[in-house]
Each structure stands twice: as C-alpha cells, then as structure tokens.
Structure 1
C-alpha cells in the first residue's frame, strides 16, 4: 500500500505571502496549560472511571463476565492503537486543530454513550471515545512543549502533565464512585460533556497553533499497528473466555505478533514513518518508553481486580469503592507537585530505581488477600505503596521522553509515549484477565469454593502484575547515571 501525500498547510505564524494574516491568540501560557491539562485529565479518567460502575453496567446492559472487560478495553485499545496516527495528523494539519477535533469527537461520543441501552451501543461509543482521545492526546503533549520553551518552565509543565496522566487512573475511580452512587453510571459519561464543550470553545482563543511540518501520512503503519494491538487484545480476551486450546485464540495471537512485526518493518524502511525509530536511539528515552509499556500493564490489576474485590467480596458500594482509592491518588498528587524540584536533582534513574521497587512491594502485598482481608491495612497499604511507587517511577518519564525532541517529531514522540501507556494498559488487562480466568477455573476444578477460586484467580493475577513491574525495574537500570 502506498503512502498518501497530503497538502502542506500554513500555520497562523507562517502565513503565505500575500495572504491576510490572522491574529494569534493572546500569549497566556498559564491559561493554555490549564485547558490542555483539563482535557488530558478527562481523557485519562475514562480509562478507569467506568470501573466502579461495572456491576451496574453489567446488570443494566446484560454483559457477560468476560465481555465486561471490553468496556475498558474498547477505549484503551482505540486510544492506544491510533495515538501514533493522531500525533502525525497533528504534525501535518496543526496540533491545535487536531486537539480541538479530538476533544469534540470524544465529547460527542460521551454524550451518545450515556444514553446506551445495549452492550453493543456502549462499546461502540467507547470505541468512538478512544478515536477522539487518540486525536487529542498526543497533541496535548506537543502543545505543552511548544508553549513552554524555557527549560525549567517546560519541566514543570511536563511534570504536571505526567502527574495528571498517572494520577488520572486513580482519580477516575474516585469520580466514578461518586457519580455512580449519587446519580447513575450514565453520569460517568455525561460529566465529560460540559468540560469538552468548554475546551472546544476556549482552545482556539487561548492555545497557540505551533508551526506545521510537511509530511506524509503513514497509512500502512497506522493500519498494521492498530490491527496488531487489536488482535493481541482480542486473542487474550478470547483465551479468558474459551481457553488456550481454542483455535481462534492462537489465530488472533499469532496474527497480532505478525502484524506488529510488520509495523516495525514498515517503519524501518518508510521515509516519513508514523513512529520514527530514531526516537529510540536515545537510551534514556528508549528506557522510558519501555517502562511506560510495562508500568500500566502492572497497575491495571490494581484498578480492575481491587474494584471487584471491594464491591463483590467486601460489600463496598460504588462511593466507598471510589474513595478507597484516595490514598493512591493523594500520594501521586503530592509527588507530582514535588517533581519539578526533585527530578533535576536526582534524575530519572534514581527516581525510577526507588519508585518501582515500592510499586512491586505494593503488588506483592495484594497477593496475600483473602476473603476476610479488611480495608485497613490490607488494601490501604498496597494502594499507598502503589501511589508512591508510580509517582516516583513514572511521573519523571514524560520530561525524559520529551527532552531534546526536534519540533517536527514532537507529535510523534508524544503519541509514542501515550501509545506505550495505553497499549500497556489494554494488553496488560487482557493478559491479567486471562490469568485470572485460567487460575480461578483451575482452582474450581480442584474442589475450591467459588469464593476461594475467585480469590485465587485475583492473587495469581497480582503475582503476574508484580512480574511486569520487576521487568520494568530491570529496564530502569539502563538509564544513564547522569
């Protein structure tokens, strides 16, 4: 398949000779950052905000137990699979324009999803949300890097953006619990609408459009990347439902591996790739990308399985479940605020080598859960450790990745970062749901009660999640010492 050549557009700051100049938005970087951060939080929230509402969604719309994971996976899959394409579209057509268009689509899909009357309807809306998020997400990072050019200001802005991206997962659970309990699970989607409309109206007024760069849209790369990740997630999800002996499971997983390999081959020989492999030439950036893949794969177990543990086994309602994640969100918020001071002092290597072991300790603690485990300290403790570990280990990664990225690659670099995060989350959840299903079925066939089999499946999934984090720790040792 050949690449499609797109016409070069002119940025507001680079008007063609003889064309009337358009007045640039007033330079208010603080307000521009607030708009971008609010939208980034909104996009990240929707990766987990549905978690605490899952029991009610399952009851109202008739989801199967395994199919219920698609409420989260449908969003993270399209979000992660199309991020690289969204970043490149922003580079070509204008990052602010792509950002506004993505937020508009995300907002419209949220409104439609809130009125869903069937499982298919809701999943279709979640897929559309993911497409909008993929268009807006990578351009939030590119807009920040072009708005803040002074080093300290850029580190501060990127640390805030990274903190929002990490803490947003936990904040989503808290907000989801409040809205589900106070109103309905539908308001978990409706709440996006006013914020999305405000961003669409305010961004053209206060966020400046960076210079555009002539390029080609890498259609073959976009298709193979998205299809490959989708096939892998579908394969793991089918294994959870049908087992590893199912022929479709092997077909999907094998096809996914081949498609991802094909994507890398295309990117290596394409003149203007969607994912420039030169981004991985910097050792620190390559390590940060790998940790962004492995970290979310590990922490999704906390959000998905602990939500079910608290609601189904400990009898928490939606509000109590959401508030239960407050220690994790608070720890990450505190570290996010401190990161602009401690990152230049200690560097990403020391912070990652400190934070990831704390995260592993939290995951290993959850492997000791039983049906009688009380919230304090049996759940509170692991959540606090996870919040501290993720704050130290992951918040520094965004400034590390975006440091010294050429302007023409800012969208691609930001898209690659969020691709790793969302792909790790969707693949990690698919793998862990498969591990949970296999372990719980094995325990049930060995004579364990349904309750004991469920607990065994969860603790086995937490053990595998700790393994993901351990690999991330090994990767962190490759950061340069200075």
Structure 2
C-alpha cells in the first residue's frame, strides 16, 4: 500500500484535492487534448488541397506529416520531465499558446517550407501539451470515484480525437478550404488558454535538475525511430537511410536505459516502467496505436478510393465508432475499472478490436456500409473505449506527484511510437500485397477492375495483420497486467519526498 499512498501525500499541499472547479478544469484539459488529437488526422485530409495550392511534390507531401511526428515523438519525454520541473500549469499554458501560434503560421503558409516549419512547431508544442494534460488530470482528482469518472471522460476524448479529426477535416476542406484545418485549432486553444489561466492553480515544483545527457539520448533515439519508420513508409525498409537510422536509434535508446540506472536525477526513473501494470499500460497503447491505423488510415482509404465516398462522408462513416468509443471509455472507467481493474478491460478490448478487424477482411469492391462496415466499427469503438479507459489511468496510477509528468509522457510516447510503427508497417504490407496480387493476376496492363481488386486485397491483408496485432496485444496484456482493481489510495503521513523506490517496491 505504500505505493498507493505515495501519490496522495502531496495532494493537500497542491490545493487541487478539494478544488470546487475541478470539473471545469477537466473540461479545459479535455478541450486542450482534443486539439492535439484532432491535429493528428485533420491535416491529412487537407493535404491534397494544400499541395495544389502551394505546389509541392508528392515526396514533399510526406514531410507535412513527418515534421509533426518527428518533433512530437522526440520531445515527449523531455517535456514530460519539464512539466514536473517548472510546473504543469506553466507548461500547459506554454503548450496551448505555442500550438495556437504554430497553427496560425501553418494556416497562413505561402510556401512548402513555411508549412513544414509550422508543423514541426506544432509537434513541439503538442509534446509540451500532451503530458501536462494527463499529469494535471492525475493530480487534480484524488477521490477514486471522481478520478474514475474524470479518466473516463478524458479517455473518450483521447481515443476519439483522431476520428473527430476526420470529420472536422472533411467538413472544413469541403465547405471552406484547407487552411481552416489549421485555423480551427485557434478556437480550441483560446478556450483552453483562458480556462487554464482562470481555473488552474500552480502546482509545487519538485526542485530536481534536468538530466541533459538523458534528454539527448532519449530525444535522439526517439527521433531516429520516428524518422526511420516514416522513411520506411515513404521509401523502403531496405534503404540505408531507413535501417541505418533505426539501428542508430536502437543504440541510443540502449545507452539511454543504461544511463538511467546511473544518473543522479534520471529523466525517466526506471521504477516507472518496471511496475507491471504501468509497463503493461504503456505496451497497450503502443499496440493500439499500431493497430488503430487499420481503421483510421486504410478503412478511410477504402471508403474514398473503392466506395467513392467524399472526405466528409468517410469522416461521418467513422462517427458510430467514435460514439461507441466515448461510451465504452465512460462506462469502463467509471463503472468497470474500480471493480475489475485494468486487466479484464484491456484484454477484452483487444479481443473486440481483433474481431472487428477480422470482420473487415470480408469487404469487397462494392460492399455496403450497413452490411460490411457498421458492425466492425461499432465493435472496434467499444474495444477502443475499454482499452483507453483502463490504459490511461493505469499508466499514471501509483506514481508520486513529482513523477506524474514523466509517467504521462511515457504513455503518450507509447501511443506516438505505435502510430509511427503502424503507418510504416501497414503501408509496407498494403503496398506489397497489392503488388503481389497484380503480379499473380494481371500479366499485361491491369484493367480498372483489377486495380480495384488489388487495392482491396491490400486493405484486407492489412486488416488481417491488425487482427494479429490486437490478438497478440490481448495475450501480452493478460500475461503482464495484475488481477484485481488498482490499489486504492489512502492518506499517508510520510512526506512526499520519501525514497522514490518505495512506490516501485510496493508494486513489484
């Protein structure tokens, strides 16, 4: 119970445990994080229009996505620890303000270079915003029942944000123009900024020093992973710029782990990862981030390319999944997590996602939405909701207040890395499967029908791989996560600065 009591020890001092405005603070946090979630997909739908307006090539187009992912993924751990050092409210406000400015620059871009720079800045400020949002949530709510409800709301937003991005991006691109896919962030950011300034209270700083060698090793390693995987998606796994970068990043990350065992003030204390539940939660979001792209990317491709849906129609086609995700996250966090703990929710959610992906392998060149897509979307939505409801709260459960920021960043890093893996791996699988089908079935110039059949074969191959990813995730989560509910925090009389290893030892 020592670990469970460590976190609340500092809660009264923070002034947030009894804050009557905590539910308004939750709304502000959700709005801010929704901005980050939207931006992961909303710009994707605007890329063809932006490319036409600014006149950049197909090769350059990939960098609009990659620039955001590189800065976001490589800076997450640094920004997570920074939020612990300078204060979560402060980093939250910096992140919101900077993200708004970067979005305005991107919306006003008159060249490819200006747009890429804006996207890189967006990723950097998103890296500040994401871990501070989750850390603020974890430290604002201390009552277990209230915390469960709060995490349910946040989980729904986190899991459904990318889907909302498809709807918003399709609507804005169709009704206005691509620039509004970036300008829309200013509305959310303004609300979050005012809410943060008015409602949030500054939280105590931990007084430690930044682990700069750890920052360089971790940021360099994560940059290499994201760049290497993005390069594989754009070019090939066999090019030196892909495998060489991935090997170098692996060396840097291995050196980072070794350094963390020796550093006086480690960037990522290994006690955070060695807890079975927290480690399982981080692996969970990595698996989900990888497999989720089967729907967020390839099902949308199928709707638009094979079924002829418009951008906005395909976005609204995802809406049933978004609704089920939010409902599943709310019910899972508020009702099921306190009674069952994370293991049944995550494992069953993975199984549901695997079933949904297996169902999607039945699609054809002219499948009906109600007969072939609606059922899998509903099932996947419930599965994603259950997973996120358990994983996000488990990833920060039991950590001391001074580690809340870096623990939150670890969860976000797992999700970001999973997305990079999913994009690279699934793109490669789809392209290979499509090429192989054409080689086997179209010996001369392929007809339009054969091209459609080859594309659908590529999509179904991806869905089978996603089925396997979620099935493996279900097995790993069942083996790794502990049985039963998470330990209930109890009042502690020890000071918050007690030996940091106590919490890890109690959870071992």
Q: Is the 8 A contact 2:226 2:417 kept in 1?
A: no
Stretches of structure 1 that go unaligned for 5 or more consecutive residues are 1-12, 16-24
> Helix, strand or coil for the counterpart of 1:405?
coil
Q: CA deviation at 1:330?
A: 0.6
The aligned counterpart of 1:18 is none
Q: 1:461 and 2:455 equivalent? A: no
Task: Measure, in 2, the Cα distance between the counterparts of 1:41 and 1:228.
Answer: 27
Q: How does 1:62-73 map to 2 (within 5 A)?
A: 62=55, 68-73=61-66
Q: 1:295 and 2:288 equivalent? A: yes
> Helix, strand or coil for the counterpart of 2:428?
helix
> Helix, strand or coil for the counterpart of 1:426?
helix
Q: How does 1:220-231 map to 2 (within 5 A)?
A: 220-231=213-224
> Helix, strand or coil for the counterpart of 2:371?
coil
Q: 1:232 and 2:225 equivalent? A: yes
Q: CA deviation at 1:29?
A: 1.2
Q: CA deviation at 1:278?
A: 0.2
> Helix, strand or coil for the counterpart of 1:48?
helix
State which of 124, 131, 142 in structure 1 corresponds to 2:135.
142
Q: 1:186 and 2:191 equivalent? A: no
The aligned counterpart of 2:318 is 325
Pairwise CA RMSD: 2.4
The aligned counterpart of 2:387 is 393
Task: Measure, in 2, the Cα distance between the counterparts of 1:65 and 1:373.
Answer: 30
Q: Deviations over 1:185-227 (max 9, x none)?
A: 2211101112212322331221011111111212222233233
Give the TM-score normalised by structure 1.
Answer: 0.89
Q: CA deviation at 1:139?
A: 0.9
The aligned counterpart of 1:247 is 240
Task: Measure, in 1, the Cα distance between the counterparts of 2:118 and 2:483.
Answer: 45
Q: 1:334 and 2:336 equivalent? A: no
Task: Measure, in 2, the Cα distance between the counterparts of 1:481 and 1:207.
Answer: 36
Q: Deviations over 1:75-114 (max 9, x none)?
A: 2332232111111111111110111001111111111111
Q: How does 1:23-422 map to 2 (within 5 A)?
A: 28-62=21-55, 68-339=61-332, 340-422=334-416
> Helix, strand or coil for the counterpart of 2:364?
coil
Q: CA deviation at 1:394?
A: 2.3
> Helix, strand or coil for the counterpart of 2:189?
helix
Change in CA separation of 1:224 and 1:454 when aligned onto 2, cut-off 3 Å? farther
Give the TM-score normalised by structure 2.
Answer: 0.85
Q: Deviations over 1:407-451 (max 9, x none)?
A: 110111111111111121122212212222333333344436433
**Of 102-111 and 340-349, the range deviating more from structure 2:** 340-349
Q: Is the 8 A contact 1:237 1:434 kept in 2?
A: no
Q: Deviations over 1:210-258 (max 9, x none)?
A: 1111112122222332332332333333334443432323212222222
The aligned counterpart of 2:432 is 438
Q: CA deviation at 1:58?
A: 4.1
Change in CA separation of 1:400 and 1:123 when aligned onto 2, cut-off 3 Å? same
Q: CA deviation at 1:40?
A: 1.1
Q: Is the 8 A contact 1:51 1:304 kept in 2?
A: no
Q: CA deviation at 1:354?
A: 1.6
Q: Is the 8 A contact 1:84 1:275 kept in 2?
A: yes
Task: Measure, in 1, the Cα distance between the counterparts of 2:428 and 2:55.
Answer: 21
Q: Is the 8 A contact 1:240 1:437 kept in 2?
A: no
Q: Is the 8 A contact 1:53 1:185 kept in 2?
A: yes
> Helix, strand or coil for the counterpart of 2:343?
helix
The aligned counterpart of 1:452 is 453
Q: CA deviation at 1:38?
A: 0.8
**Of 253-262 and 401-410, the range deviating more from structure 2:** 253-262
Task: Measure, in 2, the Cα distance between the counterparts of 1:317 and 1:443.
Answer: 27
State which of 470, 478, 481 in structure 2 corresponds to 1:479.
481
